[in-house]
Structure 1
């Protein structure tokens, strides 16, 4: 490789005379002077040259490790920063691809653009303040959506059996169904129109919850007779949440951060002394 990294460290700094390092021979006595890299060693070679000697100083002082090439320094220090700048090393690109931060401005695919245009054209607000949103179904989804009534009825009978054994669950489930009707979230189906998909549902209890002790889940991932579910035949649209990598990196730039989930304040410990 013609060039691996720029000079290391990035800039020359004044070396500090640490008492615990005065009697040893460093592998690089001029470690504080910015210079080019002489040789790149594989991790296997490092395992062969490492020795048992280890010298530690106080906090914020480097640790000296003995090797067959001399003593090397490592550890947290506040005296200087060494920045490795990588340039033109396509041959070892796989080493940093894992660390690459995804761009937040990635162009949308045709399917994602379809979802955006669909929501823009069809979403409307009703007189009662609620929003009406059209499902982003895939092209020719009718041909791939199979029959689902038999499986949904079987699941409903299982649910009935469970409700008959638990009066508390039965009462909570009934309240949920009536609330859904009162809010206008569902109504009785009076016409048979194809294609039609029957969604099974079940309840998830969390008795220690301070708000909702019962959550009813509608299973749109249940397969129909063709092997496709309702979810399979809908476009997913663009990702709305932020990239986790960029979110975590931005999190670390602040001393105090808030988490909306648990309503607690967390402090990012960036100072090694704390």
Structure 2
């Protein structure tokens, strides 16, 4: 017999108790005394009902004829119920003959499976103690179970199979340095070689964060303050880019209700690398080391006075093994435009001048290229074949793509506000306001422009 998974079906019984069923099987029911057999589809349950009958019956007092074949010769003994037939087959096996055994006695009914005994058994049970039974609905049973689970004192967590490797790594690799600080290894269940390239993902997230901070100066001040403190405390150091490692993107999380730190920088170790694997994916989870809330409350009530404290930056006091520190690198740069030039070295001074130039180029020169009166003057209309620069708000100007106008999509008024641009990586669709037209065509010649003045809905002049 093979069980087959099926759609979940519900069967309700007394007191509307509901049982969900998700397995069924197909069997053949065959009589032990005749050639009758029939295919039956059965739903699989852990148990159908209790053992029946509940107590042994005095079969000698029933005077059952000896010349009939019973479907269950030992019906008088309590036994398990293996199969419950429904009405779809019950009437097919039911015969026409019936024998009454007398008042307050059962009836014998003929079926294709043999004779069955059903009816009153008053006073025919053996003198054995009968268990008392109480019917609970499924909802009441769940509520009572949950009640006892909540009232029970929690037991110690049993270490799982995956907790032992964590404890083994901790016991074998943890040591104290010369200052007495603990130095640990990050418990990994896979080699860091499975991690792919993560620099460009972290770089993209950094540009997005810088764009957000450019619109919120207060956020930029708090963000840089947090990371500068991180660096000044020795919790991170500037290093040259190693050949291998993992770069973690980071972002800000603000919590105005906090009394100590309203802004925290969160390092996203769940960000996937190019192989689809993140740094968190190769780490052991480890056991839960914090006490449960119930134990904390009990300990709280055992004393008259209670002191609550918070260890500042507790987890940062534990050092990570030097060989694994490249797995926790970040990209970060403070804005150099606000720094006094006298405090900068030669390289930083050059970087400041470059940032200052690109900011002016983007906010002053590019704005002049794309200024156009939307409804009255259409100056410098784009044409197929024109060379343009695709402006990207989250990328520096040197990384903006160059392309050529492939197709225009004019509106009902004849003005094209969306175009297709052919780039080195294919055709992309952009809004005209996000394009910076270049004053040359693809072959390097000067690109003449037509000017149209629209007044009161009519063209006044062109050329």
Note the alpha carbon deviations across 1:192-240, whole angstroms, 9 max, x for none: 232x211011111223432112111111111122222111110011221
- Could you say which residue in structure 2 is the equivalent of 1:170? 220
- Normalized per residue, which structure has more strand? 2
Tell me the secondary structure at the aligned position of residue 265 of structure 2: strand
Structure 2: segments with no counterpart, 5+ residues: 1-49, 52-128, 311-463
Kindly indicate whether the alpha-carbon contact (under 8 Å) linking 2:191 and 2:282 is maintained by their aligned counterparts in 1: no
Q: CA deviation at 1:101?
A: 6.9
Of structures 1 and 2, the one scoring higher in RCO (CA 8 A, sep 6+) is 1
Counterpart among 42, 48, 53 of residue 135 in structure 2: 42
Whether 1:236 and 2:285 are equivalent positions in the alignment is yes
Cα 1:105–1:199 shift into 2, 3 Å: closer
Q: Distance in 1 between matches of 2:191 and 2:266?
A: 27
Task: String of CA shifts for 1:222-267, please: whole Å, max 9, x gaps.
Answer: 11222221111100112212355x64895799798969599xxxxx
Q: Does 1:187 align with 2:187?
A: no
RMSD between aligned residues: 3.9
Kindly report which structure 2 residues correspond to 1:20-35, keeping only aligned pairs within 5 A, or say none.
none
| Pairing partner for 1:201 from 250, 253, 256 | 250
> Deviations 1:26-74 (Å, cap 9, x if unpaired)?
xxxxxxxxxx995323245xx9xxxxxxxxxxxxxxxxxxxxxxxxxxx
Q: Distance in 2 between matches of 1:240 and 1:230?
A: 22
Query: Structure 2 vs 1, CA of residues 129 and 180 (structure 1 numbering), >3 Å: closer, same or farther?
Result: farther
Distance 1:242 1:206, change over 3 A: closer
Q: Which residue of 2 aligns with 1:217?
A: 266
Change (3 A) 1:251 1:141: same
Structure with the greater alpha carbon radius of gyration: 2
Q: Which runs of 4+ in 1 moved over 4 A?
A: 95-98, 248-262
Structure 2 residue 168 is matched with structure 1 residue 117: yes
Gaps of 5+ in 1: 3-35, 48-91, 263-274
Q: For 2:184 and 2:260, locate their aligned partners in 1 and report how far apart those are by CA, in whole Å.
A: 27
Normalised TM-score (structure 2): 0.33
> How many Å apart are 1:96 and its aligned residue?
4.5
Find the aligned partners of 1:159 and 1:259 in 2 and give their Cα distance.
40
Contact 2:300/2:306 (8 A) holds in 1: no
TM-score (norm 1): 0.53
How many residues were matched structurally? 179
State the secondary structure of the residue aligned to 1:169.
Answer: helix
